[in-house]
Amino acid sequence: MSKAVSVLNGAQYSGLAKVEDAGLQGMITLRGDLDSKALKAAVKAATGAEVPARGAITVAENGAAAWMSPDELLLLVPYEDAVAKTTEVAEALKGEHALAVNVSDARGFFRLSGEGAREVLGKVSPVDFDAAAFKPGQFRRSRLAQVAGAFWLNEDGSFYIICFRSVGEYVFKLLSTAAHPQSKVGVY
């Protein structure tokens, strides 16, 4: 099989914040009834994380589960395991009204870290990034300038950003431009 490569193959930019391609990440879209016992068990088994509350992400050692909508989760698993885990989840939810799809290769995945991370993301997204408003563990689907994107904040103050792979280069250039060293606004 051909060698899998992430959207920008490890590209980096340093400015107000550090923008980097976060590499290959296994992602499974799971739709179904988030209150069902079978689904909760399947999510736990696949990621080690609990089903998150509305607008949150739960992170475990080797995976995470993010709240996408009232009937949709995004499961993060190691890239190599994505295919197997998708099958596992689908098997566990047989008979339930649910659907699991491996979307790992359809996504771009970036990490934004450093002092200016909130400010850089704040320039391109209509979200309040004040420290009191956007806290670690919060997961938000929104837009990054002209394209859809999702992000969450880690305990260390860095953001992980997910977008469609087709707009990966756009998002990287967008964040890099917003992180230009001479473009500080100083809001956050």
Rounded Cα distance, 19 and 11, in Å? 8
184 touches other proteins by CB under 8 A: no
One residue of 69, 80, 166, 187 binding other proteins per CB under 8 A: 69
143 touches other proteins by CB under 8 A: yes
Token digits for 81?
């395991």
Angle CA(127)–CA(129)–CA(135) in degrees, nearest 5?
115
Rounded Cα distance, 67 and 8, in Å? 26
Is 38 or 145 the residue whose CB approaches other proteins more closely? 145
Q: How far is the CB of 133 from other proteins (least distance, A)?
A: 10
Rounded Cα distance, 115 and 109, in Å? 20
**Binding segment (CB under 8 A) for other proteins, from list 14-22, 97-105, 137-145, 165-173:** 137-145
Run of H or E residues at 70: none
12 touches other proteins by CB under 8 A: no
Interacting residues with other proteins (CB under 8 A): 54-55, 68-70, 72, 126, 140-143, 148
